Structure formats: structure tokens, C-alpha cells
Amino acid sequence: MSSQNANGGIVITAIDLAADSAEGTECPEAPEATPLAGLTLAVKDNIDVAGVPTTAGSQLLGREAALRTAPVVAALEAAGARVNAKVNLHEFAYGVSSDNPWHGRTPNPRFPDHVPGGSSGGSAAAIAGGVSDIALGTDTAGSIRIPAACTATVGLRPRNGSLDLAGVFPLCPSFDTVGPMAGTVQLVDAAWQAMRAGRSAGRGSVRHGAVSSGEERALPEKVGFFGDPDPRALELLKGLGVEPVALEFPLEEIEDEFWAPFRAEIARTHAATYPRLADDYDPNVAAKMANTQGVQAAEYEERMAALGAIRDRVLVECKMKGVTSVVSPVLGLPVPRATDDEVDYRNLLGLYTIPASALNLASLAIGNFLITGLTEDHVLALGLALEAAGLAPVLPALA
């Protein structure tokens, strides 16, 4: 059925589709008209696929095969996609280089001397390297969008709570989410539609979320921007009749409130193994784990409340300016070289990804061009229109 550690640091478990078919375990037939029918799917190895171990990129896990396939995977299989690989990641999804001591350094097929980003670096590399047609990644603070920017692919961060995350090894439950990655916005959109349609009834209430509607697929009259987004993308927006409007985004304030609850939840997720088994962690991750300790409940509640207040204030400003989405770069610096130390760049690489995570907004990376909005439909509508107008994934600067 599978082989281990294939394809030079990208694939942890290669799944033989022909063998699955011969064994009679193939996925249910999907209608031939389904956009995903027959496409191959890479699954980040912190997401369960029945019969295959889930390692979360660690040597501490993966001794037993998963008993059930995660609903986010099953939804794509029901739409006709076929899992062909479990792919590498930064250990426990806690890092932005995807340099993994147990499963190998994940390469960047698009820019071989540079990191693929993380933590979903294997998912992005599987797309950029032609291993799979679509991929699933997880995103807590930028772990889909950073790799999409580093490899010039496309990745969607849905809102936390929009999908059933059963069978997904957590990092930080209040901010974790799962999303699709591919080479085009159109294919990411098709995968998202299948995932949304397949979510389990009663298990997808969106935190701070608005209900999606058909109106969100219409192009807005205005879009906010901050940072220094790709100028060609801005010109294409103007050509589509969408006016870019400068928007002050409180990046520093958001980060000040975000990191304490982020670290507190990670500490609780790993309470059974850290610090007791600290020596069995990747030293890179163990050093981060040491910094997650000691956040108390009172501070956690205070910071989460502050994030809610910032979210309300940002949404009021967006409403006053008539925007439902904002655009920016993804990366705060050029893509680091593979030999660079992650500690030197990890806080800046995904500079512009934190707001969507902290404020629970949807976010779409088209290479190094980021669209953040109220709902998945808002960002995908803009992304699809830009792609139809000629925008390819925006290439990042390289260190």
C-alpha cells in the first residue's frame, strides 16, 4: 500500500493507488463531472488517513496506523480525489522552514536553494514539484500561506471553526484550521467547495463568523490594502473595477495580543509530552516549547478578549471604508536560503499572515499576494477574478 520516506524530504508515506484499487479499498466513485475526479491529493502528515500512520512530523508519534480518515480528507475523496501521499512538515506544525530532523529537509522545488516555508512545506512542495494535483495543509499562524508564497503556489486559510477538524493533530485549537493548496485559485476553490459541502452537520460553527451567502461571490467596489502588495495585482484590480483603498492595519497591536494565547494553547496541547520528553523533540521545536510555558488563565482570557475587541474595531473601519477584503504581501522578508537558521527569520517571514489567524478571517495566498476577508467566498471571488484577468501566483523575492 505504501512506502516510507520517498521523494527527497517531501513525501513521508507514498500511497500506491494501483495497489489500493487491487485490494478493493478504492475511494467511492465520484461523478465524472466533478472538478476533482481523478486528481491526486497530498495530505499533510498531521491529518489522519485510515491505514496510514500519522507522525505530525515527530518521532514520538506514528507507531500505529490511523483507524479513520479525517472528515476534511474524506470530503475530497467523496468528490473524486485520491490520496497518493502523506507529506512532510515542520515537527508538530510548529515552525516555518519545514526542516525536519526525522523525515528530512523539505526541498523547495520552485527555488531549490531556499526554504519551502512552513509548517505545510511538504504540502506546498508536493504541488510545486508535481507530486500531487492538490494538497491539504494546516494553518495556525500562516502555515498554509507562508509555504504558498515561498513556492509560488496557492493556498487558502479558511476560518477557524468552518470545518470538522476531527483526525487533525492540534497545535493551537482556537486558531487551527485546514485548507487546500494547489497551483491555481480555480483548483483551490474547487477543493474548498468539496470540503465545505462535506463538513459534518452540527460541527462547523465559525468562531466570530458570518454566514456565507451568494452575494459574497460578487466583486466588491473597493478593497483595502496595507504593506506593499504586488503592483500588477493592484492594477488588475483597478481593471476589474475594484478600487484599492489604503487601510491602517494594527499589525503590531495584533501581534502583541496574539502570541500569549497562541503559546498557552500549545503548552496545553503538549502537556503530556513536554517537558517530560523534551529530549525527543526536534531541538528547534523544543526551544520554542520552552517559551510556551507559564501563561496563566487570567492572561489568556485577557488577551483573547483583546483580540475580539481589535476584531470588532477593524471590522468597523472596514465597513466605514466600504471594504470586505484587504490585500497585502504574505512575506515580511525575502525567502530565506535553506542554510539559514530559522530562529533568525521565523517571526518576520509571515509578517502579514497573523491578522487573519488572530482575528479569525479567511485568507488566500496567491504566491506572495495575500487576500484577507470576512469569508472564504469574499477572498475566493477576488482571487478567481484576478486569475481570470491574468494574475499568476506572485513570485517572492529571494534572499
In a domain, 41, yes or no: yes
User: For the ranges 10-14, 15-19, 320-324, which has the lowest average pLDDT?
Assistant: 15-19
Q: What is the per-residue pLDDT for 216?
A: 81
pLDDT in tens, 364-396: 999 999 999 999 999 999 999 999 999 999 999
Model confidence at 203, pLDDT cuts 50, 70, 90, reads: very low
In a domain, 398, yes or no: no
In a domain, 289, yes or no: yes
In a domain, 190, yes or no: yes
Q: What is the per-residue pLDDT for 29?
A: 58
In a domain, 189, yes or no: yes
Q: What is the per-residue pLDDT for 345?
A: 97
In a domain, 70, yes or no: yes
By percentage, how much of the chain surpasses pLDDT 90? 87
CATH number of 170's domain: 3.90.1300.10
> Which domain, by its residues, includes 266?
2-388
Mean confidence (pLDDT) of the chain: 93
In a domain, 399, yes or no: no
pLDDT in tens, 157-174: 999 999 999 999 999 999
pTM over 0.75: yes
User: For the ranges 6-10, 23-27, 220-224, 235-239, which has the lowest average pLDDT?
Assistant: 23-27
Contact 330, 353 (CB under 8 A): yes
Catalytic center residues: 44, 119, 143
Query: How many structural domains is the chain composed of?
Result: 1
In a domain, 338, yes or no: yes
